[in-house]
Structure 1
Amino acid sequence: MPEGRWVRLSTEKPTSTVYVLGTETSLDVCGSAPTGAAAFDVWGTSGLNLFIVHNGEVLKIPCCVTRWPLNSRVEVIVTMDAPSVEVDEDKVRISYYKDKGKTPIAKAVLHLTCVEISLDADTSRSGSVHRNAKDKKNWTWGPEGAGAILLVNCDRDDPETKDVDNKDQKMQSFMDRGDMSLMILTTRGPDDIFEDHQLVLHVSASDTDKVGVFHAQGRKKKLSQHKHVLGSGKLSYLVEHSSGQEENFFYVEALAFPDITFPGLVSFHATLLEATTQELPEAPIFNDTVVFHVAPWIMTPNTLQPVAVYVCSMKDNTAFVADINKLAKKAGCKVIVCPEVENRGDQWIQDEMEIGYTQAPHKSFPVVFDSPRNRGLDGFPFKTVLGPDFGYVTREPVNESVSSLDSFGNLEVSPPVTVKGKEYPLGRVILGTYFPSLHGQKMVKVVRDFLYAQKVQSPIELYSDWLLVGHVDEFMTFVPAPDRKGFRLLLASPCACYKLLKEKEQEGYGDAMMFDGLEEGKQSSVTTILADKSLRSSNEYFQKCIDWNRDILKGELELTEEDIIDIPQLFSYVRGKAIAFFPDMVNMLVLGKYLGIPKPYGPIIDEQCCLEEEVRRLLGPLGLACIFIDDYKTYHLFYGEVHCGTNVRRKPFSFKWWNMTP
């Protein structure tokens, strides 16, 4: 339904008003009627469309009806089809009559000037702005939905600047402008109207710290002519009309991602104000609104194609870095090495950051989420990863202490799933927390709130506090698969490990040694491991912890046992928590069909590590290449593995987040 406006008439003198194209003007026929009037007729110039509301019906005024009864149920509506060339170009006249009178007892004349005012953005999500779109005030999800989208301008296009691009009020470059969404204010009509009225672009006070708006002034729209006009405390902007200029171009950036106190919706308004008297302020006579949704931060699962692998260079991990390079070369992606001068002895690059992306119809770019762990690698995401078309976001707790659970080895995401008929086309975020009790640790609130507020990857919380380090990547991961759901969930399994070792003992390999080839005194035979009651008792408990999570994942991702593969693994009991007894094979690097798996140093049988052989047997039928990487001395002994020591940037989903329904 078109926006309507009620206009009062006068029988004492002609009045004038502005009609805005696409609206309806309702005439106050009864309010201006003289005493004794019982009927009226309507006449208008050719530029007007006149309608009568009578007995609940809207009719174009027929020429065969000369008069209409004067009562509150009768209404006259005026519309126009094109902007006026001159002020007061068209007029409508209401003539009032006494009952059965032939001569009018009074007349009310209204002059109208038609102007076009439209505030538009890419509400169709096609990548370009369409004028006069309908229902711009509402933002809807789904493939049939509509509404414009904003990117958080959190990259750094100019390496000379010290912060992300949206921290200042300057247009740094045309590359910087490319991260912003275009908003066009169209004004057509006689110049005198816009000189006598004010046109104001404004945003609500609650949104002023969420957006920034630049006005491209001048006909050539040079970079220097982009003026910061809204946001960062600026609530309104008077748009000055220039003769012959029908369009004003505005470029909009988001300053913040959705969060617990910000659902991500921002409204912009263009309001036409009419002068009243010198003593009184202007009165609004028209408003057009367009709503944007800020694009969320999106994580990428192991099933998406890798683009680049990040790894830290340390004085003693040269062979490890070389192995990662070989693996990445097979997968066709590049390797980015963080030197020791930058990592400051902190090799756990998985824990420091998570690389996701943000996306609008006109552009997409990766965004690194910097964890609040703040150790040696603390400056790396901001100083090195942040750059042109590579954004940055972080959340720092204020009144909470940071624990190991706040490192991003404790943050994963599933591939796309459908659960009880509800689709999660971007998968579901997975994070570790404590067992449901009065005690334990969990991820800090600011990070959890941020993850939940993105809406598009509804989080799942698992129990990971049974582990000494406490990260979900220590007992689970996802690998691509050509069948079923397109992936398999891999779970570390003490039960599967004991079963395998028992089989080997029964086959006569009880003397085969675990950790063969490592330092003296570390080796243990299969029989010795099976006979260790304390180790077995601990692993029975650890298996129950994993099984608790198994049930959660089966329910939250709608998995069956056929979707899950148990990877043999044992854990040791240290300081009341679990650490990997041998290199944790689930803590792997997934690069397409190539898997970089921690070398387990399992018992050698027929010149083959039986643990490696078992993993190949389980994963080989999926077309996956298992490549075992020695991380024992450089990572495993420090409670981490291959996944903990690497990080991956992946291609974004082909699915557009706005086409889903959260």
Structure 2
Amino acid sequence: MSSRSLRLEFGHVVRTVYVVGQELRVNLNSCAPVQSKFFSVKCTDNVQCQILPKVQYGASSVNPLPLGKNTVLLISMNTASAVANESKLSVKFYASKTEVIGNAVLHLTAVEISLDVDADRDGKVERNNPNKASWKWGPNGHGAILLVNCDSESTYSYKQVDHEDNEITKVSDLNDMSKMILRTNGPKTLPDGYKLCLHITQADAECVRVFRNKVSGPSSALKSIYLKLFEKDYPIVLHKRKLGNEVPYLGGNAELVFYVEGLRFPDKDFDGLININLSLLEPITEGIPETPIFTDKVVFRVAPWIMTPNTLNPVVVFVCSVSDNHEFLKSMKELVERSRLKLKVCYQYMNRGDRWMQDEIEFGYIDSPHHKFPVVLDSPRDRELQDFPYEELLGPDFGYVTRHASKEEVSSLDSFGNLEVSPPVTVNGKNYPLGRIIIGVAFPTAENGRNMTKVVQDFLWAQKVQEPIALYSDWLAVGHVDEFMTFVPAPDRKKFRLLLASPDAAYKVFRNLQANGHGTAKMFPGKREEVSVDEILNNEGFRGENVFVQSCIDWNRDVLKKELGLDEEDIIDLPVLFKVIPEEARAVAFYPDMVNMIVLGKNLGIPKPFGPEVNGSCVLEAEVRSLLEPLGLNCTFIDDFASYHQKLGEVHCGSNVRREPFAFRWWNMEL
């Protein structure tokens, strides 16, 4: 029970509003005349009194008690008042047990006030949850959840993210907000001068807005009709230029519905927690500001942006159509149809020749107990595809978020082939039920290395639920982690395998070929200048380049084993060779990089390597099939040689997949 200090005035009537659940504390000595030695208390039946030092009273006390310096009267009430000032309490002061000096009188108006949210996360706004003013992670946690209103309900030619507009123009926009309900019970009106005020801090005002529903009345059916007819009847209550605002007291047993809108994702300067307060203000005298006598508080946490790993079910595949990738598109369409998925093609009017769909965007989602929807994270690379996520993806229940950086800060490592996420893992007893984000950065000792820009890294770390892992990828000319690693689903162990590019595995395949008399078999049949297995194995400089590459991958292998809790049995090495570009001292794939694949459930779209053939069969394809098909995976090899590989990318770089969200709800994580 909250406690509030109250002062009585000898010889006067004090009127106040009492909030049910409070305890009023009156220091009787402070309001007593100097000559007072004794006192007695009398109150109406609905007022409970207690004296400290502790003496219990019934409805009243007629026998005078000694008045001490620290005599305190505790006052409480159990029910709301029907009319204002209906409850009474009087304190009689005595100079002696028989000599009455006078009275101090209190008139009370009891009201019930509760600012309520969905603190137990069941999709319903319960009444006065005791945990509504705090936030706790875990399955036994509590605290309300708020979505960033980052989709667009706009039907205008000029599209914008909903939170950029400080008005509600479509009722459907309310689904993206969290309900907050002010429940009151009491007389028809509050006593003169009393008012209710909703308020937030300046810091929180940058992250949240609050609207209210003008509709009131007993009929929910009528309310529903009203909502459909009057979409704009939701006045804004709180925003960054209005930190406090009076809200109506409806009288009787009533509910006033508010809609809370998230404006910002968690970030380096915002932990995601938002406090909203409701205060009952009491008038002092005309020309003097009112003072708060009761405050109720609720806490929201803004839902994080969550990435989806390859092990989640695919929904839609995205690719670009450019002037020279017709055959690639044909193969992708066949793979997508076989997987019974939708294919969305971004045509040249929108992509303007930019084929790298993976590099521009990363798909994720946001989730709350009452609503969830996909959200695309737009890379700061800002090349010709930069308009695609905003113009083509942003819409009703499809959100958009980006982080801006100066052109000087942005490098190839800011493309989202350099942003991946693992499946769920447990590491040294710590559970990551939503997996862990993986990014590529420069080696720790590099003086002029490239790194993912700080604003993007800060954003990813601030989401909390998929704690990032930094790998060393700057050794690659393009510098993306998807050039040497990916994940595929598996029926056993951890329910996935980590696939790593492996020059050592490739050399093993080629040495076996040579040992079996196939040293003259050649790479790249019909694609470019052919090179034999013998030539590859006899090239010591080329071998040295791949020793370097293998050492870089092994560094990352050890990091991934440690950070994802993997054993060697959880890792499959795919045979891939690299070459180092002398002027850059960085590596690119020598032949199509089979790790850079698209994963559509059990169907894999793998870059066709154009390896040496034995009896009409590509030995590299055969090796990969032997490694992956025992896991129940279907390998389809796609020719991306001219349209992607020779432009330093592969199948994964040129495609993207929106996937189903996790069944696991992020707020149930133990952090």
TM-score range, shorter chain: over 0.9
Contact 1:116 1:187 in 2 (8 A): yes
Match of 1:642 among 640, 646, 651: 651
Q: Which stretch of structure 1 is more off in the superposition, 204-213 or 526-535?
A: 204-213
Q: Could you say if the C-alpha distance between residues 66 and 322 of structure 1 is closer, same or farther in structure 2, counting changes exceeding 3 Å?
A: farther
Q: Could you say if the C-alpha distance between residues 61 and 658 of structure 1 is closer, same or farther in structure 2, counting changes exceeding 3 Å?
A: farther
Match of 2:91 among 91, 94, 116: 94
User: For 1:523 and 1:256, how far apart are their aligned partners in 2?
Assistant: 54
1:51 Cα deviation after fit: 3.3
- Equivalent residue, structure 2, for 1:303: 311
Matched, 1:3 2:2: yes
User: For 1:125 and 1:104, how far apart are their aligned partners in 2?
Assistant: 58
The CA RMSD over aligned residues, in Å, is: 2.0
User: For 2:291 and 2:670, how far apart are their aligned partners in 1?
Assistant: 40
Matched, 1:251 2:251: no
Match of 1:366 among 370, 374, 387: 374
* DSSP 3-state at the match of 1:383: helix
* DSSP 3-state at the match of 1:309: strand
1:406 Cα deviation after fit: 0.4
Equivalent position amino acid for 2:44 in 1: T
* DSSP 3-state at the match of 1:573: strand
User: For 1:61 and 1:412, how far apart are their aligned partners in 2?
Assistant: 69
Match of 2:215 among 218, 241, 245: 218
Q: Which stretch of structure 1 is more off in the superposition, 395-404 or 257-266?
A: 395-404
Match of 1:469 among 448, 468, 478: 478
- Equivalent residue, structure 1, for 2:222: none
Match of 1:558 among 561, 565, 568: 565
Matches within 5 A, 1:599-638: 599-638=608-647
Structure 2 residues not aligned, in runs of 5+:
217-225
Contact 2:519 2:532 in 1 (8 A): yes
- Equivalent residue, structure 2, for 1:436: 444
Equivalent position amino acid for 2:264 in 1: A
Matched, 1:142 2:138: yes
Contact 1:209 1:233 in 2 (8 A): no
- Over residues 166-208 of structure 1, what are the superposed CA-to-partner deviations in whole Å (9 max), with x where a residue is unaligned? 1112212111111111111122222342653121111111122
- Equivalent residue, structure 2, for 1:541: 548
- Equivalent residue, structure 1, for 2:593: 584
User: For 1:42 and 1:564, how far apart are their aligned partners in 2?
Assistant: 80
Match of 1:123 among 119, 126, 145: 119
Contact 2:202 2:240 in 1 (8 A): no
- Equivalent residue, structure 2, for 1:167: 164
Contact 1:53 1:59 in 2 (8 A): no
Q: Could you say if the C-alpha distance between residues 67 and 322 of structure 1 is closer, same or farther in structure 2, counting changes exceeding 3 Å?
A: farther
User: For 1:380 and 1:60, how far apart are their aligned partners in 2?
Assistant: 74
Matched, 1:597 2:596: no
Matches within 5 A, 1:271-310: 271-310=279-318
- Over residues 257-284 of structure 1, what are the superposed CA-to-partner deviations in whole Å (9 max), with x where a residue is unaligned? 1111111111111111111112311111
- Equivalent residue, structure 1, for 2:363: 355
Q: Which stretch of structure 1 is more off in the superposition, 236-245 or 43-52?
A: 236-245
1:341 Cα deviation after fit: 1.3
- Equivalent residue, structure 2, for 1:14: 13
1:413 Cα deviation after fit: 0.5
- Equivalent residue, structure 1, for 2:202: 205
Q: Which stretch of structure 1 is more off in the superposition, 444-453 or 394-403?
A: 394-403
Contact 1:309 1:336 in 2 (8 A): yes
Matched, 1:26 2:25: yes
Q: Which stretch of structure 1 is more off in the superposition, 195-204 or 642-651?
A: 195-204
Equivalent position amino acid for 2:451 in 1: K
User: For 1:69 and 1:418, how far apart are their aligned partners in 2?
Assistant: 67
- Equivalent residue, structure 2, for 1:343: 351
User: For 2:386 and 2:313, how far apart are their aligned partners in 1?
Assistant: 27
1:105 Cα deviation after fit: 4.2
- Equivalent residue, structure 2, for 1:108: 104
Structure 1 residues not aligned, in runs of 5+:
none
* DSSP 3-state at the match of 2:426: strand
- Equivalent residue, structure 1, for 2:223: none
Contact 1:410 1:432 in 2 (8 A): yes
Match of 2:81 among 77, 80, 84: 84
User: For 1:61 and 1:544, how far apart are their aligned partners in 2?
Assistant: 84
- Equivalent residue, structure 2, for 1:176: 173
Contact 1:159 1:387 in 2 (8 A): no
- Over residues 7-31 of structure 1, what are the superposed CA-to-partner deviations in whole Å (9 max), with x where a residue is unaligned? 1112212211110122222222232
Equivalent position amino acid for 2:310 in 1: N
Matched, 1:262 2:261: no
User: For 1:419 and 1:68, how far apart are their aligned partners in 2?
Assistant: 67
- Equivalent residue, structure 1, for 2:505: 496
User: For 2:333 and 2:64, how far apart are their aligned partners in 1?
Assistant: 88
1:647 Cα deviation after fit: 0.4
Contact 1:342 1:377 in 2 (8 A): yes
Equivalent position amino acid for 1:76 in 2: L
Q: Could you say if the C-alpha distance between residues 180 and 409 of structure 1 is closer, same or farther in structure 2, counting changes exceeding 3 Å?
A: same
User: For 1:37 and 1:637, how far apart are their aligned partners in 2?
Assistant: 99
1:36 Cα deviation after fit: 4.5
Matched, 1:333 2:333: no
Q: Could you say if the C-alpha distance between residues 399 and 534 of structure 1 is closer, same or farther in structure 2, counting changes exceeding 3 Å?
A: closer
- Equivalent residue, structure 1, for 2:396: 388
- Over residues 51-96 of structure 1, what are the superposed CA-to-partner deviations in whole Å (9 max), with x where a residue is unaligned? 34436xx967698996655446653322222210111111223334
Q: Could you say if the C-alpha distance between residues 194 and 649 of structure 1 is closer, same or farther in structure 2, counting changes exceeding 3 Å?
A: farther
How many residues end up aligned between the 2 structures? 656
Provide the identity percentage. 52
Matched, 1:189 2:186: yes
- Over residues 82-120 of structure 1, what are the superposed CA-to-partner deviations in whole Å (9 max), with x where a residue is unaligned? 210111111223334557x25554433211110122111
Equivalent position amino acid for 1:193 in 2: L
1:542 Cα deviation after fit: 0.6
With normalisation by structure 2, the TM-score equals 0.94
* DSSP 3-state at the match of 1:178: helix
Equivalent position amino acid for 1:190 in 2: P
Matched, 1:524 2:531: yes
User: For 1:61 and 1:388, how far apart are their aligned partners in 2?
Assistant: 61
Q: Could you say if the C-alpha distance between residues 413 and 401 of structure 1 is closer, same or farther in structure 2, counting changes exceeding 3 Å?
A: same
Matches within 5 A, 1:65-80: 69-71=66-68, 74-80=71-77
1:320 Cα deviation after fit: 1.1
